Structure 1
Amino acid sequence: MISLPKISFYSPSDLKKAGEHLPIIQNYLPLLSQNLSESFKKRQIAFIECALANFFKKSSAENVCRYWSLTADEIIAQKWSEIGLDKSQIAVFAVGKLGAHELNLSSDVDLMFISADGATYEKKLLANFISSLSERTEFGFLFRVDVDLRPGGRLGPLVSTVSQFEDYYGNYGETWERLALIRLRPIVGHSNTVTAIEDLVPKFCFRKHLDYTLLEDLKSLRKKIQHHYPAKDDNSFNLKLGIGGIRDIELFAHALQVIHGGRIPELRTRSTTEAFGALKKHGLLPEKDVEFLVSTYWYFRYLENWIQSAHDQQTHLWTSNLTDNSKLVDEEVKLRSNQVNKLVTSLLGEAKTETELPHEVELQIRWLIKHGFTSDSSHKTWKELMSNHVLSRKTERDEEQRLLFLQSFVLELEELKSDSDLALSLLLDFSKATRAKATFFTLLNREPLLIRELAWLFSISPYLGQILISRPELIDSFLLKTHAPLSNDLTEALDQLGDHKLLSELVTSSRFLTEKSVDYLTTSLSSAADTICKKILDLTLGEIKHSTLSILTMGKWAGQELGLRSDLDFVFVADSEVTEYDHKVARRIVNRLTQKNRGGSLYPLDFRLRPSGNAGLVVVTKDQLEDYIKTTAKTWERQAYLKSRHLNNKSVFTREWAVSRETSTSEFEELANIKEKLFQQNRTDNQNIDLKYSPGGMIDIEFLYQWTALKHRIKLNSANTIDCIRQIAPLPDWNRWSRKLIENYQLLRTLEQLQQLVSMATGSSLDPNSPSFKKISLLVQISPEELGYKIKNTLAENIKIVKDLDPNKS
């Protein structure tokens, strides 16, 4: 069992000294006296213990990384149980450094989810699990989660079955995936699934007979990796990705493990140190080389922990002047990395740092066509992109950086096998927006994961691409997945809130495209709207005293189901008599939500659901609203108020008021007529499918549960569609169909939001013959024909269920 000195071991002067070099410790120590959850407290204590042990060298870097990994294991297992997934047939596996129990202090945790064949699970629970680990709170975050290392990568299902795992890696797995799975390790979950996967992995990673093409693949892999990273400069070195750095040492060890592990079982280990030990024992590496590589690996990991524990940020860049003896460290890093490069080169060939992208435009066009671009895109878009020269005083150096970035971008697109022409077009606009500044290319070249993220987003989503084009300054925040603290200065705050909204859309949509969890997407977008509107309300109430104004959210916002490009439905409510101060606050809030700021206007607004509609008062009192809903409101308005939620005043109980009186047969007939009119108004004569307004679409399901609530006068605990269906589920017949309704509704909502992302079209109508439909089918991993059939089948199934459950069918 690994143990590190407790925080109490260190004197106040020790903590002060550490805090001067590692500022985050000064932030985290006061948090320990606050009311933290068990998992947050465990995380922050462990982080501080690791950072201090590393800083004062009270333990080896290897022990620090193992201690941090074991803490991550405990928290992941604890969250898995808290969410309720311990009862599922899913197992959680760690990949990468966590898999080897070698996690650094501010690293992502790479996780893979595998289920038993035929098992079912609730996607929302899994999304909640991932969010519980990665979402930032006022106390920080637990762990950033990366789920890209899975069968099929980003385009693969978030949860693969054992059979899918076996089929993918048995038939399609690439060399780099064989290396990655060496460190696959179960953390928590279904024991039979764990056993099945642990039986399969060695068969994929290690072959009994030497594969003569493997070494060439590994040589090619190293060259491809190094194409993404600039050469070392005199002032900095990327400890992880630089030539002769951490990645090179791992690649060297894993290559030898894969080559010889089929014949030598001792090499089938996740531990870097144990792997080198086995290589020495079996005469595959000289003792002096093993001792050098192991010591260098953990020396670089020590430095990596140092720079990451300063601000709890994922960085690998060692720069001069970080420590009092930086010159000595710089020399040590240089000597060690050069020697590592010599050893790795002896096995895997030289890592070239020059670009393979030709300098002449005509040769570049041939190179692009070779890598999958159309002739039209290569000739037109690329030529314009290349004419947009880098802005710099050091043109030759920075132009090389630009070419290196463009090459990496193109190679990522080739690997993604997505819409390369769209990506190139958006990259052109992005380059214009950044004015081809050298600093952007330098940043991107230092963050290869960001290049991959950009290539992915630009090739899939013109909507997200346009966000980055409109605000390229968000790149830093997008990389770190962090929001800047909101200012209390109104002008500055409004600009920040615009960026907050755009960044929320970028981060959550990027994850949604990977995980397809529509609950996570809509909850996150609604939470961003809550934050923005609460901040504006607070700032406005601070300007205008004597107002008791609150906001009652309506519709999708109330249900925390806000989608992309949605407007905000809400009503202003005052505690007692409406004053001129209340009207001033309301007007200013409306202006601030709709005025143009740095990132555009915040939200379009909709007030049609206020009492008496567009003719009604902008601000109503709580008593007026209650009286209106209970006595005067039309049935469709009472139905609408079932989807309401207070933003800042818990005394407004509109959902209860909406069911305070019975609904007559004639009133239900009126609601049925309204629904039919909606269907008629949105009906199309072409082949388009409307996911919302077609019979059996989302509106049908929403109306069904709302009519049932009115019929049985159910006091709904939530405005969320899925939560409401679950609450109504115990009713006769509903228990039979509720799970299917939830599944079908989530499918339609997922497709609707994917449509918003992969095209610039608004609304919920899909054209089965459009390029965007083909993109959606690619994302959900079925053919366009199968997707069309699945949608039509789902709508038909919903029509039958709605007919069976119609509360007024008698």
Structure 2
Amino acid sequence: MNFLLEKLKCSLNPEWLNLVRAVEERQEEFPNPRRALLFIEKLSNRLNCQFSDYLHGDFGFHLLLLFSYSQFLGEFLINHVELIEELRSIYRETFLPSDFRIEISTQDRRKFIDSLRVYKNLQIARVVLRDILHLAPFLELVRDTTLIHDACIKAAYDFAYRNLVKKYGKPSSNFIVVDMGKAGGFELNYSSDVDVIYVYGSRYGETEGGTYGKLQNHDFFTLLSREITELLSERTKEGICFVVDTRLRPNGSMGPLTNDIEALEQYYTAVARPWERIALLKARPSAGDIGGVGLEFLELANLFVYRKYIDLSLIEEVLRIKEMIRAKVSKKGGKIDLKLGKGGIREIEFIVQAFQVIYGGKYPQIRSKNTVVALKKLLNWGFLNRREYEELLNSYIFLRRAEHMLQVTNFRQTQTFHPESEEAEELSKKLGFKSRDEFLRELSSVMKRVNYYFNRFFPTKELKPLSSYTVEELERFGFKEPEEIKRFIDALFDSKSLSVEKKRKLDVLGTKLLKLIYEAPVSKTAIKNLLLFLETEEGQVFFFSVLSHENLLKLLIYLLSTKDFFLKRFRKSPEVLEHIFSPELIESPVNESSMEEFFKELQNLQLLKNTFEIVSLLRKRLGRTRIEEFFSELTSICDFCLKRRYEKLKPKFAVSSLGKCGSREMNVGSDLDLLFISKEKVEDETERAVDFVKSLEELGYEVDTRLRPFGEKGELVFTLSYLEKYLKETARTWERLAFTRFRFLVGDGRERAERIVREFLFKKPFNREVLNEILSMRERLEREFPSSTLKYAPGGVVDLEFVSYIYQLYSKKWLRHTLESLKALSQEEERFSKGEDLYRLIRQAETEKRLFSEITSLGDKINELRKEIRSFYREFVNWMTLKV
């Protein structure tokens, strides 16, 4: 360099020498001062030693910096010195998206191609200069880089389309260029291939005809796609505009260069692989009919990318792709790969994209094609905490800046360098580090941090074989009954039902399966029922088909941890496995219309009942419903089955319900308290009622008809007049409580029946005598069922049900539903506002007890809850005593 300095000092005039001295005196600011000096010499020669005005002042120094950073841009500006003045006029300006456009002023193909490259290189010089002078933030730099490429694509499309229309006439459909990858997210590198997909509206139709005749739409758009690609990628004396990569299209390089919407829909529905969902996440129409075909394409892409349910199966695809990349990178010797290496840019992109594809269907608020914007959304919606967000964001920007500065020298698409090379030395200076070692330490720290987060979000550690776990290891794992768990593990591998290959698959699953069993509500029940499940052919086929789908496996283990809820229904209807994990069923409320559609297709009421009861439990498990909505869905299933049996039998009596069915609060295993009421006396309906009860019991319901007038001694089928007379003359206070839950289900006489019951409930006064009698009934239940801690004992469900009964009779509000009564009470008297939450918690505990034979969520806190409920009950009784 000293020799070059001396040479220039001897050969250049004073004005040029000022530039040379600037480099000499401020060498620490130049990543490659020798390159800057060489370009001073080249520029001087190109200008015939004439010193241009634009080289005075700050811009002259800034131009030298640009020369020092980039050999490519230096050569470009030397070849086009007429553009340096234009660069000076624009490099400090912040551009709007509308500022990036190319006017086509020539019909000559060669001139057009060259003009694209000149435009692109000049604009990139502006962006790079703004970068090295810190005049723009990272997001603006990558946005502008993308907009430069978009402008070139739009110009190439317009030029190619115009020429083809002259030859063949206008096609009957429209066309778009879809940016993929970083271009789709407005985050292109300085030197990057541009991934595109070419799409048109419909293959059906042809062009209007031109000087060359007519073409079918597909042939026209294939020519258009090929011409756009060549206009951008062809090498000329100005180089290339950029490489266009079309391999992300359906079937890659083996597929058609362009596809219509119908073909894409067929491909994405039936053929596309999981990685293509990740690729389409960033798809963005950038040229052509963006408002028409573009919107149609985006709608299709979003349906493919985002699922309505949380789709954890994609994690394995991310790990598979990462493993392929790891194998590829390992062949690069001692080089550092900023993009694909361990802890590189791709790992951050995988984290962001996986979160979006897995959860973006359910939470559209986290969707974004831009990585930086997506990170912020993941923070705002709770998927990342503040520290994770800041460390991933800072790491991403650091790595992207390093990638840019590596590429800017020769504008090659590279992300690798050797740590001992001069390239690494220059890169460290471009990034503002005092030494190469300082830069490499920081880079190592950043990449370790990124890899730590990647491994945390996508664990890749070796799994321990299931059969090798000892009782001691199971105890350390956290199991409460490790001996029992070990016994069932051994039983799995001793099973005669499982082939050697299937036992091997179970063994390989190892820690992964054990973790799911540990996380189940009752681990011992889960593994015991898994053993029973795998003794069936249907169970084996399903289980081994979902081994790679952790989300399905987790839900299956949850179902198996229920004492008999799942296995009982599975044994009756093994076909439930074809339906219960359907996203459409899980994401849709269980109601009459969804069941009607299911029944219309399959005509199997037993399968419907078992399927929808399991689906209702899964919906609750996945947080789609609260406890009261779970009860309501179970009741809706019961109503649907009851009405179908009624329609088949065609009795002359109507059916009404009391109890939990009447209040629409049916739980797992709830009885059906039914009443059979006819408008007039009908002979031989008793036998038909018995048949009706049997038909419901065949479905798995326990039917109780003892709440009819005079109980078991009374007539099974009775008239409305008989009911009216009984309720007026004979019914006791406890029956007033029971009839607060009366609900007419099916048949004739609804209006009269409801009027009779309403008069029974509210015509007689509600006074202190009635209240005392009800309170005595509550005390008697406590004495008679002292061991029923969740239902009849003090602080059980019945405390809150009695509050509901009393409040309805007092307020004359026929609400039927316990929770609705507690809501109405809290609105009247604010101090009772906690009643709703108490009711939800105790019913949740009751549900867990019925499902798992133990309370899994509250644990020891159940006693505190019962004390709160009893205190609530007493406070209500005191309030009511004063009221009446």
How many angstroms apart in 2 are the aligned matches of 1:530 and 1:372? 43
Letter in 1 for 2:553: I
How many angstroms apart in 2 are the aligned matches of 1:406 and 1:353? 14
Counterpart of 2:582 in structure 1 is 480
How many angstroms apart in 1 are the aligned matches of 2:682 and 2:810? 34
Q: 1:524 to 1:278 in 2, by over 3 A?
A: farther
Query: Would you say 1:262 and 2:472 are equivalent positions?
Result: no
Counterpart of 2:544 in structure 1 is 442
Contact 2:653 2:676 in 1 (8 A): yes
How many angstroms apart in 2 are the aligned matches of 1:799 and 1:194? 48
Contact 1:570 1:607 in 2 (8 A): yes
Letter in 2 for 1:508: S
Counterpart of 1:315 in structure 2 is none
Counterpart of 2:740 in structure 1 is 642
In structure 2, runs of 5+ residues without a counterpart are 1-172, 175-199, 206-259, 270-275, 285-297, 316-347, 367-375, 416-450, 586-593
How many angstroms apart in 2 are the aligned matches of 1:466 and 1:287? 64
Count matched residues: 510
Counterpart of 2:816 in structure 1 is 719
Q: Deviations over 1:522-571 (max 9, x none)?
A: 11111111111111111111xxxxx4322111111111101111100111
- Using the aligned pairs only, state the percent identity: 19
> Per-residue deviation at 1:108?
2.7
Provide the secondary structure at the position in 1 that maps to 2:304: coil
How many angstroms apart in 1 are the aligned matches of 2:497 and 2:513? 16
Q: 1:175 to 1:620 in 2, by over 3 A?
A: farther
> Per-residue deviation at 1:412?
2.8
How many angstroms apart in 2 are the aligned matches of 1:65 and 1:175? 11
1:502 to 578, 586, 610: 610
Give the CA RMSD over aligned residues.
5.1
Counterpart of 1:425 in structure 2 is 528
Q: 1:423 to 1:667 in 2, by over 3 A?
A: closer
Q: 1:288 to 1:391 in 2, by over 3 A?
A: farther
What TM-score results when the alignment is normalised by the length of structure 2?
0.49
Contact 2:613 2:634 in 1 (8 A): yes
Contact 1:679 1:695 in 2 (8 A): yes
How many angstroms apart in 2 are the aligned matches of 1:534 and 1:105? 40
Q: Deviations over 1:75-110 (max 9, x none)?
A: xxxxxxxxxxxxxxxxxxxxxxx9xx9563672344
How many angstroms apart in 1 are the aligned matches of 2:690 and 2:204? 54
Query: Would you say 1:575 and 2:785 are equivalent positions?
Result: no
Which stretch of structure 1 is more off in the superposition, 512-521 or 101-110?
Answer: 101-110
Letter in 2 for 1:683: P
Contact 1:408 1:451 in 2 (8 A): no
Counterpart of 1:610 in structure 2 is 708
Q: 1:109 to 1:728 in 2, by over 3 A?
A: same
Contact 1:523 1:560 in 2 (8 A): yes
Q: Give the 5 Å matches for 1:153-232.
A: 187=365, 197=380, 201=384, 203-206=386-389, 208=391
Provide the secondary structure at the position in 1 that maps to 2:816: coil
Counterpart of 1:797 in structure 2 is 872
Counterpart of 1:93 in structure 2 is none
Letter in 2 for 1:740: K
Q: Flag the structure with larger Rg.
A: 2
Q: Give the 5 Å matches for 1:244-643.
A: 258=392, 261-265=393-397, 281=404, 358=465, 376-377=483-484, 379-389=486-496, 396=501, 398-404=502-508, 408-413=512-517, 416=519, 419-434=522-537, 437=540, 439-459=541-561, 463-464=565-566, 467-468=569-570, 472-480=574-582, 482=585, 496-513=604-621, 515=623, 517-541=626-650, 547-580=651-684, 582-595=685-698, 601-643=699-741
Counterpart of 2:128 in structure 1 is none
> Per-residue deviation at 1:617?
1.6
Provide the secondary structure at the position in 2 that maps to 1:479: coil
Q: 1:798 to 1:402 in 2, by over 3 A?
A: same
Letter in 2 for 1:725: L
Q: 1:282 to 1:673 in 2, by over 3 A?
A: farther
Contact 2:658 2:743 in 1 (8 A): yes
Counterpart of 2:790 in structure 1 is 691
Q: 1:418 to 1:175 in 2, by over 3 A?
A: farther
> Per-residue deviation at 1:263?
3.7
Counterpart of 1:330 in structure 2 is none
Contact 2:565 2:851 in 1 (8 A): yes
How many angstroms apart in 2 are the aligned matches of 1:535 and 1:726? 33
> Per-residue deviation at 1:462?
5.8
Which stretch of structure 1 is more off in the superposition, 57-66 or 440-449?
Answer: 57-66
How many angstroms apart in 2 are the aligned matches of 1:199 and 1:487? 40
Query: Would you say 1:671 and 2:765 are equivalent positions?
Result: no
Query: Would you say 1:776 and 2:881 are equivalent positions?
Result: no
Letter in 2 for 1:742: E
Q: 1:488 to 1:201 in 2, by over 3 A?
A: closer
Counterpart of 1:662 in structure 2 is 765
How many angstroms apart in 1 are the aligned matches of 2:268 and 2:364? 30
Q: Deviations over 1:288-329 (max 9, x none)?
A: 799xxxxxxxxxxxxxxxxxxxxxxxxxxxxxxxxxxxxxxx
Contact 1:178 1:204 in 2 (8 A): no
Q: Give the 5 Å matches for 1:111-150.
A: none
How many angstroms apart in 2 are the aligned matches of 1:175 and 1:459? 37
Contact 2:573 2:606 in 1 (8 A): no
Q: 1:61 to 1:455 in 2, by over 3 A?
A: closer
Contact 1:390 1:399 in 2 (8 A): no
Provide the secondary structure at the position in 2 that maps to 1:573: strand
Letter in 2 for 1:501: K
Counterpart of 1:155 in structure 2 is none
Query: Would you say 1:745 and 2:839 are equivalent positions?
Result: yes
Letter in 1 for 2:877: V
Query: Would you say 1:55 and 2:255 are equivalent positions?
Result: no
In structure 1, runs of 5+ residues without a counterpart are 15-49, 69-97, 111-143, 149-173, 209-257, 268-276, 291-343, 542-546, 596-600, 760-771, 779-783
Q: Give the 5 Å matches for 1:35-114.
A: 52=262, 54-55=264-265, 104=304, 107-110=307-310
Q: 1:58 to 1:585 in 2, by over 3 A?
A: closer
Contact 2:516 2:554 in 1 (8 A): yes
> Per-residue deviation at 1:799?
1.8
Q: Deviations over 1:675-708 (max 9, x none)?
A: 2211211124xxxx72322334332332233234
Counterpart of 1:700 in structure 2 is 799
Q: 1:413 to 1:667 in 2, by over 3 A?
A: closer
Q: Deviations over 1:213-259 (max 9, x none)?
A: xxxxxxxxxxxxxxxxxxxxxxxxxxxxxxxxxxxxxxxxxxxxx4x
Contact 1:434 1:472 in 2 (8 A): no
